[in-house]
Chain A
Amino acid sequence: MDSLVGFVGKNYVLMAGDTNAGRSIMRLKEDFDKLVPVDSHKILAKSGEIGDGNQFCNLIIRNVSLYRINNETELSTKSVAHYTRRQLATAIRKNPYSVNLLLGGYDKKDQKGSLYYLDYLGSSKKINYGAQGYAALFVGSILDRFWKEDLDFEDGLELMKKCLREVEKRLIIGTRCFLIKMINSDGIAVVEKVMINSKKKNEIEEEN
């Protein structure tokens, strides 16, 4: 089961996803990237069926590129969220895509980051912090307690690791490896590829 976490900080958006891809009880791939870049300043974090996720995210990414080519202007995060929601909503009663998404983006116009929660049923909501999958059960309360407006990057990263540590500790399905990405005015950057081992007190190993 996929775990995705995201929140907005001071001029950045931090997103993390686990890196497992599997089929029923088996893990097929341990380094699967679920945070796909829509363009230079937006990330779509996908969870749900692998095939639907791949195809749907490809659809959104290519259409956003097409818009940029046709109109020589980049779409804002809000527009992409609305477009994505519409695609999900029109498909739900015909050929549903079983994907749940977190869309994070940084808009140069507003100099602000934003995060949207999108559901396979076609719901969409602008949020400051949130999660998809089983992680949402554990991480929701941590973010309610500790998230503040305009967190610095260091504080934000520490909060994210706190969330991921909780996911690794309490989720019975093994998810140790997470990929953390950040979006700010410079674009998308991979912050860390962490492997968490909560049995060792407060120890998080960094990969590469």
Chain B
Amino acid sequence: MFTLGSVLDNELKSTVEDFSFETNFSTNQLMLPNIEKPFEFAQSIIGLEKDLQENENQLMFHQQKKEERKERALIKGYKGTTTLAFIYEKGTVIAVDSRATSGQYIASQSVQKVVPINSYMLGTLAGGAADCQFFLAHLGRICNLYELRNNETISVAAASKLLNNILYSYRNYGLSVGSMICGYDTRGPQLYYIDSDGSRLKNSLFSVGSGSPFAYGVLDAGYRWDLSKEEALDLGRRAICAATFKDSYSGGTIKVYHIDENGWVKISDDDASELWYEYEKKEKKEKK
């Protein structure tokens, strides 16, 4: 039946198929390298502890020691970062550091760990930078298409569920994503934690990364639902600052964002090392 709706739908589909990876995600097919046994290949090059133990018995590896195999692993998952987000009465606060490490080496001090999904939703990056950047950008594309097709803004719950389903289908392939989807929709401020293991959790505060225990300490001690905007932003900034002080894999600059009913806004961008000593100076002044 060629109704106007179906013709338009076909039109949209044909333009969408021009993006070579779009169809694979929308029809839920996994994108895999064009080789005979993609799963085994993925398993052999990722350096996950549990998989290295399983390979113990395979003929190819039985003579190599575990340490040698670890070094051979081309892709290693790092979660050297600190990101946090929490929701409160007036909206959502997101604070991140900006350091990227490659083993003991600091690869960059100015990484963008917050990726905008649309004008009222942000995603944070932790784990593999490439994985997070790609999937969050892709989520942005899917959300845009959703809004065009359905003439309504996508909810944070739906956006996070879309990402969750995609990541779940890749769950044993060695992706490393620890992302938080934060936004403001008709239900108010929302925060979801999405993992490459396939978990999706909704809560009022999360912190992800190697520095997250340190950030949780400061965050849990100062968090209340009825914070004022300045207090909330200060809490986020201080929590990341504490994490960068203690965790060597976190540092660089501390970026703070705020989302409310008007959309997201970047609030501040401070050097982590300087901020710590500024806080110290401030407290010394107050003591006097």
Q: Which residues of A contact B (CB under 8 A)?
A: 21, 23, 26, 28-29, 32, 49-52, 54-55, 95
Contacts and interface: CB of A to CB of B under 8 A. Distances in A.
A54 B200 contact: yes
Interface stretch (B129-137, B140-148, B190-198): B190-198
A28 B197 contact: no
Contacts of A26: 212-213, 216
Given A26-B213, A50-B197, A55 B203 contact: no
12 contacts: A23-B195, A23-B199, A26-B213, A26-B216, A28-B203, A29-B203, A32-B201, A49-B199, A50-B195, A51-B195, A51-B197, A51-B199
Interface in B31-69: none
B86 to A, nearest CB: 13
Interface in B201-220: 201-203, 206, 212-213, 216
- 5 tightest A-B CB contacts, nearest first: A51-B198, A50-B199, A51-B199, A29-B203, A51-B197
A40 to B, nearest CB: 23
Contacts of A52: 198
A28 B202 CA distance: 10
A28 B199 CA distance: 11
Nearest to B171: A51
B245 interface: no
A178 B33 CA distance: 45
The contact size tier of chain B is 10 to 19
B201 A29 contact: yes
A106 B204 CA distance: 35
Interface string B111-134: 000000000000000000000000
A32 B202 CA distance: 9
A28 B201 contact: yes
Interface string B206-247: 100000110010000000000000000000000000000000
A74 B199 CA distance: 30
Nearest to A96: B172
A50 B193 CA distance: 12
B213 A49 contact: no
Given A54-B199, A55-B168, 9 more contacts: A28-B203, A29-B201, A29-B202, A49-B197, A50-B195, A50-B199, A50-B200, A54-B198, A95-B172
Contacts of B201: 21, 28-29, 32, 50
A95 B197 CA distance: 13
Nearest to A52: B198
B85 to A, nearest CB: 12
A190 B144 CA distance: 39
Contacts of A49: 197-199
A125 B200 CA distance: 30
Choose among A23, A28, A32, A49 the residue with the greatest number of B CB atoms under 10 Å from its CB: A28
A28 B193 contact: yes
Contacts of B164: 51, 54
B200 A51 contact: yes
Nearest to A21: B201
Contacts of A23: 195, 199
A28 B208 CA distance: 10
Contacts of A51: 164, 168, 171, 195, 197-200
Contacts of B216: 26
A95 B208 CA distance: 27
Interface string B152-170: 0000000000001000100
B61 to A, nearest CB: 22
**Most chain A beta-carbon neighbours within 10 Å: one of B201, B206, B216:** B201
A118 to B, nearest CB: 19
A55 B195 CA distance: 13
A50 B202 CA distance: 12
A172 B145 CA distance: 48
A95 B168 CA distance: 12
Given A51-B197, A54-B199, A55-B198, A28 B206 contact: yes
Contacts of B172: 95
A49 B216 CA distance: 22
